[in-house]
C-alpha cells in the first residue's frame, strides 16, 4: 500500500507543481485518478480507506501551501476524489 501512496502522491504533487493556467493539467489529472480508481478497486476495504485517508491528509496539507490557483486546483480536485472513496 505504501507503494500506491508514493506513486499517486508523487504524480499528483508533480502535476500540481507543473500545472499552468491553460488547464492542460485537467486531462492528466483525470488519467491519474482513473488509474487510482483501478488500483483502489483491487484493495480490501480497510486498505482502501487507509490509503485514501493518508492521501487526503497529505494533499490537503500541501494544497494550503500553494498560492497559485491552478496548482491548488489540482490538489483540491484530487482531494475531493480521495474523499469520495472514503464516503
Query: Which pLDDT belongs to residue 1?
Result: 76
C-alpha cell at 43: 484493495
Q: What is the rounded distance in angstroms from the CA atom of residue 69 to the CA atom of residue 39?
A: 29
Query: Which pLDDT belongs to residue 12?
Result: 97
Q: Which domain holds residue 49?
A: 2-86
Query: Which pLDDT belongs to residue 86?
Result: 77
Name the domain count of the chain: 1
Look up cell 482531494; give the residue: 79
- What is the distance, to the nearest Å, from the Cα of residue 43 to the centroid of all Cα atoms in its chain? 17
Share of the chain above pLDDT 90, in %: 93
Can you give the pTM of this predicted structure?
0.92
Q: Give the DSSP H or E segment for 84.
A: helix 69-86
C-alpha cell at 13: 504533487
Query: Which pLDDT belongs to residue 2?
Result: 87
Span 4-25, mean pLDDT?
Answer: 95
Q: What is the DSSP letter of 19?
A: -
Amino acid at each position: 500500500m505504501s507503494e500506491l501512496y508514493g506513486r499517486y502522491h508523487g504524480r499528483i504533487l508533480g502535476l500540481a507543481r507543473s500545472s499552468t493556467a491553460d488547464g492542460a493539467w485537467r486531462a492528466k489529472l483525470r488519467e491519474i485518478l482513473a488509474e487510482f480508481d483501478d488500483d483502489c478497486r483491487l484493495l480490501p476495504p480497510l486498505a482502501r480507506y487507509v490509503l485514501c485517508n493518508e492521501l487526503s491528509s497529505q494533499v490537503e496539507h500541501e494544497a494550503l501551501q500553494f498560492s497559485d490557483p491552478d496548482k491548488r486546483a489540482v490538489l483540491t480536485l484530487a482531494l475531493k476524489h480521495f474523499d469520495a472513496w472514503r464516503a
